Amino acid sequence: MAHSLRNLMDTNRLVRVLEAHTPLCGLIAQAAEFKSPTVTRKFDAVWSSSLSDSAIRGKPDIEVVDHSSRLLSLHELMDVCSLPVIYDCDTGGNHLQLRSTVRSLERAGVSATIVEDKGGLKQNSLKGNMPGQLQLPIEDFCAKLQSAKTWQRNSEFMVIARIESLVLGNGMQDALTRARAYLRAGADGVMIHSHHQDPDEVLEFSKEFRRSGERAPLVAVPTTYNAVNEETLFQAGVNVIIYANHLLRSSHKAMKQAASSILQYGRAAECEELCTPVGDILRCFDT
């Protein structure tokens, strides 16, 4: 799995990744396909999101769900889904905690993890520059990356550095400086994050990153800037796009509407249009 994901990221094409927070989500991601006379699109990997893993447990996204608990769920996902898995590691904790998590992810068969360069109280980045969110000094995060990379056993496993400079208001130059430093420290790629609704700063970062001749994988997560199309991101230099929470959010909306409909009408007939037929669910597991 790790080998196949690294090979995908090294090719000159876009890698699409979809969030999957349950084994059923993994089956959906694996089976999803769009075909036209000129193009076929499928997902290449799945994303194990800390937001989703916290939300399905009714917990806030502040690293309160430990990695051991999340790994148990990952085993169930990987039992039924053969796509490579990229794991959202949040900050990864301290050096020793990150080392342990990397070893556990390798043993589980996970292909890559993304570690963010925040320190202090972890808050979801889509909230923007919230009080208590700090960015680690460059040298401290580089040491953390080096520690993780020297501890891993499988050379195909990828540790990708997530840069929070744009979210925390530290500027474009800081983001670019960090990207280069993190790659020199051993990161296998970088993820640039933004909470703005337009993609301009992500596109600017990507172009500047590639203009220097850098060929490492570059990851973007177009959650808030969702009007930008994949080709625009790809042409700017992004080669991995993660749709990071869309199965969680779409299921949450449908479940709320179904629950309200049953209470409103005193029966289930009106919510059937929100529901997949039972037969289609059963056919997901036909062997």
Four-CA torsion 200, 204, 209, 211, nearest 10 degrees: 140
Cα–Cα distance measured from residue 231 to residue 224, given in angstroms and rounded to the nearest whole number: 17
Tell me the C-alpha distance between 63 and 101, whole Å.
Answer: 13
Pick the catalytic residue: 10, 44, 53, 61? 61
- Is 66:98 a contact under the CB 8 Å cutoff? no
Q: What is the mean pLDDT of each run of 10 residues along the chain (287 residues)?
A: 84 95 97 97 98 95 91 95 97 94 96 94 67 88 97 94 96 98 98 97 98 96 98 98 98 98 98 95 82
Give 146-159 as a 3 state SS string.
HHHHHHCCCCCCEE
Q: Considering just the CA atoms, what is the radius of gyration of the chain in Å?
A: 19
> What crossing angle do the helices spanning 200-211 and 172-184 adopt, rounded to 10°?
50
Q: Which helix (H) or strand (E) holds 17?
A: strand 15-19
CA-closest candidate to residue 89, choices 158, 174, 3, 34 = 158
Quote the pLDDT of residue 201.
98
- Determine the pLDDT at residue 185: 98
Q: How far apart are CA 120 and CA 147, in angstroms?
A: 20
User: Is 174 assigned a catalytic role?
Assistant: no
> What's residue 98's pLDDT?
96
Predicted confidence at residue 131, as pLDDT, reads 60
Look up residue 187 and give its amino acid. Answer: A
- φ, ψ for residue 81 (rounded to 5)? -115, 125
Q: What are phi and psi of 220, to 5 degrees?
A: -130, 155
Quick check: pTM over 0.85? yes
